[in-house]
């Protein structure tokens, strides 16, 4: 599986994500600098990491969403290629219009950094096929602006079309309907606030995140 990880000024989880991808896929990802308008041909997955791209000025992900590389990311998704946005990457995807909704300040305005329980809502995607429907997994979060919001019509559509990928098992940050991660309508773009790359080795305490990346390998092998 060939993958690339976009690096913005302020990204701080890009190395973690590259290590996780290499560990699970056996292939080293390429770093995709935000100012480049093109990406290498033949990539299966483009991943947007967590961090504070451009210092989260204006809004989290707002400046990064307008970076030259995002045109290539959108083209990749349009061709059916896989795109994964984690934490700040999820924020960038919503700001770029590749996913609906918006990520707002957490309820209570606190930075949240801890393990959380997630319900796997759908396994009908390349990203979630490594799980069981309704399964509860544990994945860390580390965010200040993780409160997913959308209008009622959009939320209903996400539910009805099976585009909610993960849901917090309990209240975490005020997200509408406790949504933690969503898919686009083609199911080839996933944005989620929790960090699966932080639970891919035994030393991390569990391997629940590894199964997300392993699922991608099984699809693309």
List 54, 143, 195, 199, catalytic entry: 195
Q: Judge whether 113 counts as a catalytic residue.
A: no
* 168: Cα within 13 Å, side-chain hemisphere: 22
Return the SS3 of 163: coil
Q: Rounded to an integer, what distance in angstroms lies between the CA atom of residue 147 and that of residue 10?
A: 21
d(CA 87, CA 114): 14
The first and second tokens of residue 8, run together, are: 């913005």
User: Is 199 an active-site residue?
Assistant: no
- Tokens standing for residue 162: 């099976």
Our answer to whether residue 195 is catalytic in this structure is yes
Q: Which of 76, 143, 197, 199 is catalytic?
A: 197
Question: By CB neighbour count within 10 A (0-12 exposed, 13-18 middle, 19+ buried), where does 38 fall?
Answer: exposed
Residue 212 burial (CB < 10 Å; 0-12/13-18/19+)?
Answer: buried
Catalytic annotation, pick one of 87, 119, 143, 199: 87
DSSP state of 51: B
**CA dihedral for 174, 178, 183, 189, sign (positive or negative):** positive
What are the catalytic residues?
87, 195, 197
């Amino acid at each position: 599986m060939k993958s690339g990880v976009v690096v913005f000024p302020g990204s701080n989880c890009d190395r973690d994500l590259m290590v996780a991808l290499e560990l699970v896929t056996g292939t080293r990802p390429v770093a995709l600098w935000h100012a480049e308008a093109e990406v290498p041909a033949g990539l299966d997955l483009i991943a947007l990491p967590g961090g504070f791209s451009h210092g989260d000025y204006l809004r989290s992900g707002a400046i990064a969403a307008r970076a030259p590389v995002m045109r290539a990311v959108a083209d990749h998704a349009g061709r059916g290629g896989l795109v994964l946005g984690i934490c700040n990457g999820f924020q960038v995807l919503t700001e770029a219009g590749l996913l609906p909704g918006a990520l707002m300040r957490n309820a209570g305005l606190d930075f949240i950094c801890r393990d959380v329980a997630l319900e796997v809502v759908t396994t009908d995607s390349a990203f979630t096929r490594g799980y069981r429907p309704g399964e509860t997994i544990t994945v860390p979060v580390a965010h200040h602006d993780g409160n997913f919001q959308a209008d009622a019509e959009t939320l209903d559509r996400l539910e009805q079309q099976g585009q909610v990928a993960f849901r917090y098992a309990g209240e975490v940050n005020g997200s509408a309907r406790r949504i933690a991660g969503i898919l686009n309508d083609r199911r080839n773009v996933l944005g989620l606030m929790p960090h699966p790359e932080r639970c891919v080795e035994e030393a991390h305490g569990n391997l629940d995140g590894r199964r997300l990346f392993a699922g991608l390998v099984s699809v693309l092998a």
